Chain A
Amino acid sequence: MKTTPSKWSQPRNWAPYVFVSPFFILFGAFGLFPLVFSIYLSFHTWDPAAGLAAMEWVGFENYLYALQSDDWLRASLYNTFWLALVSGLPQHLVAMPLAYFLHSAFGRWRNAVVGTYFLPFITSSVAISLVFSTLFSKDFGVVNATLASLKDAPLLGALMPASNIDWAQPQYTKWMISFVVFWRYVGWNVVLYLSAIQTIPKDVLEAAVMDGANSWQKFVHVVLPLLKPMAFFAVTLTIIGNLQLFEEPFILTSGTGGIDQAGKTAAMHMYSVAFTDGDFGTASAIAWLLFMLIAVATWLNNRLLGQRD
């Protein structure tokens, strides 16, 4: 009698799966599992210090609580959108012309200059935030020291504040955080836009020159419209990144969100619900609410910038 060998006895049938397995195992353990578990968790109350057995099913209670009675979530969402807009919009308004300027003005030094703009992006955000909180220190910071020295300058002196500005006051907190975020990510967007500008065919620009366009007209009428696909991509990244803003405000306000919670973002609120209140269920629910918000914002952006003409 003739037996047919099983399909799996041939190494060439199973070997590929073994070779690709490391990715799937790692992704499953560190990517997929936490994701699925946090959905499951968002329908429970759970203080993790009490162990897995302490999980208790509560249905949609966490979501209802977050939406109906968590006033700090509302405040932090307002802060998040404020910061996303004030730090995000200028990034693109500056990065587009800057990329065009770097592209046309710098010849062979271009990459070195782009590198300097890119540097903040690859520096640790904790280090950046620490440096900035030192710069903005009320009594010993460079910013206040500079303002104080300008007081004696003619004309400008009258505009300077009489005493040291306390940058931790709520009216400054958001501006300070926005400035740091803007400074950090503008270089990244420059790189994105620059790479898009470099793909614009030379003949299109030359044709514009033949038609008598100056370099401003070239930028507005030729480069900008052709940047739209990249703008869609870059703005999407900014929306996702800014709505999840955490490290910069966390370090700049020493984890508290600042006076009157003026610098507390939704991600920071989620963190404190989990680790200060020990309520991981509600924190997971907030995480998924935030995810839905980001999805909606990205969809809106798609409607705005992503349409093909």
Chain B
Amino acid sequence: MQRSLRTLLAIATLALGTAAHAEKVTITVSSFPDLDRGVKAAIPGFKKLYPDVEVKLSSMAYADHHTAMTTALATGANLPDVMGIDMGFIGKFAESGGLEDLSKAPYNATAQVSKIAKFAIPAATNSKGALAALPVDIGPGALFYRTDLLQKAGVTEAEMTKSWEGFIAAGKKVKASTGAYMLANATDIKDIYIRAGLKDGEGIYFDKAGKSLVASERFERAFDLTRQARQAGIDAKVSAWTNEWSEGFRRDKIAAQMMGAWLSGHLKNWIVPNTSGKWRSSQLPAGAFAAYGGSFYAVPAKAANKQAAWNFVQYLTLNKDQQLEAFRNMDAFPSLVEAQTDAFTDQPIEFLAGQKARQLWKAAADRIPAVAVDRYDAVAAEIVGAELDKVLEQGKDIKQALADAKSGIERRVRRK
């Protein structure tokens, strides 16, 4: 008797629960700082369109978030409905098959892809052609430099950016007359050079068949330029995002930095807010165009509320007002072309002495090649970086280093 009563109660509770669910759906969004600010900004506008959907945001530190998402995909437990993914992890996550293919029904996102910056799409597309996520922001690469330090050294922007040799020569002049380094780290040159000049569909480290492209002239030249810069003594030998890096800017010790356009926001907000008006942006040297990061949103295959999740992903990635909101407040460069061409792009940026730099970044975004990603890119990047260190620090021969990198990659990448 007692047992049957309990069963009845349980059924009643369940029934009530489902009834309540039919009215209100709660979706969880997992993200990480600073990307989560975009989610917070999106919630009011989204609720106007979908009053029945509650959005719950859970946010973790960058590395923790991606580890937690890996675990969630592995076990199928604690999966969010909407998952934020950084460029550094998108290749692995897209390949995993744990995310919904947005190009298929009921999502049919292929129709929307033409509205999005083209270079961000291959990153979210896996080797089976499934579109695993949509880009929410992109990072067109740009060069930021201190106009006052360059002026003191008598270096013009054209002189600095016409070629990589010109960039290194300019760096020597800056170092000689101001004592400031031209670069935080010479390896930045390698990172850009190996990406620049690729055609749509080409990979950075691997070709379509998964063969390593490391022992090639592109990498040789990248290593050589990096070594030239290191030997010229124009780099501070510090890694980005370390204390020494930000301190280098604060003490006028680093005159320029190549990075995603969003760096201006970091410079203005916390690194060197007191140097407003002393900075300017230009295209990368030697006509290079490269992407620096970017973020994506995906719907896990085992998500509980896929339809509502998809609506939210669309709101974040394809809604012009939301894209502009993130552009204005977080300097997140929009992935949506319609938002890139908004009048906001033509406004001068105070921190960059009134330069209309967003036009510049938009032009760069148009020209960045749609590079193919490989799930082993991170492995290759680690090995190439380690070999470059040997070239720079121990005088290892470049050809030998790249041959070793190639065999190292082939050893560690055991494709099944």
CB closest residue in chain A, given B390: A260
**A260 & B386 in contact (Cβ 8 Å cutoff):** yes
A153-194 at interface with B (beta carbon < 8 Å): 166, 168-170
- Chain A residues with CB below 8 A from B414, complex form: 45, 65
The answer to whether B97 and A261 touch across the interface, beta carbons within 8 angstroms, is no
A69 interface hit (Cβ, 8 Å): yes
B3 at the interface (CB under 8 A from A): no
Query: B248 in the interface, Cβ–Cβ < 8 Å?
Result: yes
Residue of B nearest to A58 (CB): B416
CB-based contact B393/A48 at 8 Å? no
On chain A, the residues within 8 Å of B166 by CB distance are none
Chain B's interface: helix, strand, loop or mixed, by majority?
Answer: helix
Tell whether, in the assembled complex, residue B382 and residue A276 are in contact, meaning their CB atoms are under 8 Å apart: yes
| B360 interface contact, C-beta 8 A | no
In the bound complex, CA of A169 to CA of B382 (Å)? 18
* B46-100, CB < 8 A from A: 67, 69-71, 73-76, 92-93, 95-98
Cβ < 8 Å to A, chain B residues 95-140: 95-98
The answer to whether B244 has its CB under 8 Å from any CB of chain A is: yes
Residues of A with C-beta under 8 A to B390: 260
Instruction: Quote the shortest CB–CB distance from B264 to chain A (angstroms).
Output: 24
Closest B residue, CB atoms, query A62: B414
Assess the A69–B411 pair: CB atoms within 8 A: yes
Q: Which residues of B contact A71 (CB under 8 A)?
A: 408, 411
CB distance from B94 to the nearest CB of A (A): 9
Q: Which of B71, B243, B416 contacts A56 (CB 8 A)?
A: B416
Does B379 interact with chain A (Cβ within 8 Å)? yes
Q: Please indicate the chain B residues that have their CB under 8 angstroms from the CB of A69 in the complex.
A: 411
Asked whether A139 lies within 8 Å of B244 as measured between CB atoms, the reply is yes
A48 touches B74 (CB 8 A): yes
Q: Give the interface residue-count category, chain B.
A: 35 or more
Determine whether A277 belongs to the interface, using a CB cutoff of 8 Å to chain B: yes
**B242 touches A (CB below 8 Å):** yes
State the CA gap A137–B236 with chains docked (Å). Answer: 12
B357-392 vs A: 1/0 string, CB under 8 Å?
000000000000000000110110010011001100
Which of B67, B76, B236, B239 is within 8 Å of A254, CB to CB?
A: B239
Measured in the bound complex, the distance between the Cα atoms of B45 and A242 in whole Å is 54
User: How long is the Cα–Cα vector from A114 to B97 in the complex, in angstroms?
Assistant: 55
Contact B96 A139 (CB under 8 A): no
The answer for the CA separation of A277 and B376 in the assembled complex, in Å, is 7
Chain A minimum-CB-distance residue to B76: A51
Closest to A69 in B: B411
Q: Are B378 and A276 in contact (CB under 8 A)?
A: yes
Contact, CB under 8 Å: A272 / B382: yes
B218 located at the interface, meaning its Cβ lies under 8 Å from any Cβ of chain A in the complex: no
Q: B242 and A254: CB pair below 8 A?
A: yes
**Chain B residues closer than 8 Å to A168, beta-carbon distance:** 237
Contact of A140 among B70, B98, B244, B376 (CB under 8 A): B244
Q: Is B412 an interface residue, CB under 8 A from the partner?
A: yes
Nearest CB in chain B: distance from A254 CB, A: 7
Q: Which residues in chain A, 129-148, are within 8 Å of chain B measured between CB atoms?
A: 133-134, 137-140
Find chain B residues with CB under 8 A from A276 CB.
378-379, 382
Q: Which of A270-294 contact B (CB under 8 A)?
A: 272, 275-278
Across the two chains, which residue of chain B brings its CB closest to A257?
Answer: B386
Closest to B88 in A: A276
- B242 CB contacts on chain A under 8 angstroms: 254
Task: Tell whether A52 is near chain B: CB-to-CB under 8 Å.
Answer: yes
Is the CB of A247 closer than 8 A to any CB of chain B?
no
Cβ of B129 to closest chain A Cβ, rounded Å: 17
CB-defined contacts of A51 to chain B, threshold 8 Å: 73-74, 76, 96-98
8 Å CB interface, A232-278 against B: 254, 256, 259-261, 272, 275-278
Q: Are B386's CB and A47's CB within 8 A?
A: no
B207 on interface, CB distance cutoff 8 Å: no
What are the residues of chain B within 8 A of A50 when measuring CB–CB?
73-74, 95-98
Are A49 and B382 also in contact (CB < 8 A) when A166-B237, A259-B389, A260-B390 are? Answer: no
**CB atoms of B411 and A169 under 8 A apart:** no
- Residue B18 at the A interface, CB < 8 A? no
Cβ 8 A contact of B96, one of A47, A261, A275: A47
Contact A278 B92 (CB under 8 A): yes
**B393: A residues at CB distance < 8 A:** 169-170, 259-260
Instruction: Note all chain A residues with C-beta closer than 8 A to B93.
Output: 49
Question: Residue B2 at the A interface, CB < 8 A?
Answer: no
**B389 to chain A: which residues have CB within 8 Å?**
259-260
Q: B253 near A: Cβ within 8 Å?
A: yes
Given contacts A49-B93, A56-B416, A260-B394, A138 and B237 within 8 Å (CB-CB): yes
Are A49 and B96 in contact, with the CB atoms below 8 A? Answer: yes
How far apart are the CA atoms of A276 and B380 in the complex, in Å?
A: 10
Complex Cα–Cα for A269 and B390 (A): 19
Contact A49 B237 (CB under 8 A): no
Contacts of B386 in A (CB 8 A): 260-261
5 A-B contacts (beta carbon < 8 Å): A69-B411, A71-B408, A133-B243, A275-B67, A278-B375
Known contacts A56-B416, A137-B243, A140-B244; can you find 4 more A-B pairs with CB under 8 A?
Answer: A45-B416, A48-B70, A52-B75, A166-B237
Q: A-contacting residues of B (Cβ < 8 Å)?
A: 67, 69-71, 73-76, 92-93, 95-98, 236-239, 242-244, 247-248, 253, 375-376, 378-379, 382, 385-386, 389-390, 393-394, 408, 411-412, 414, 416
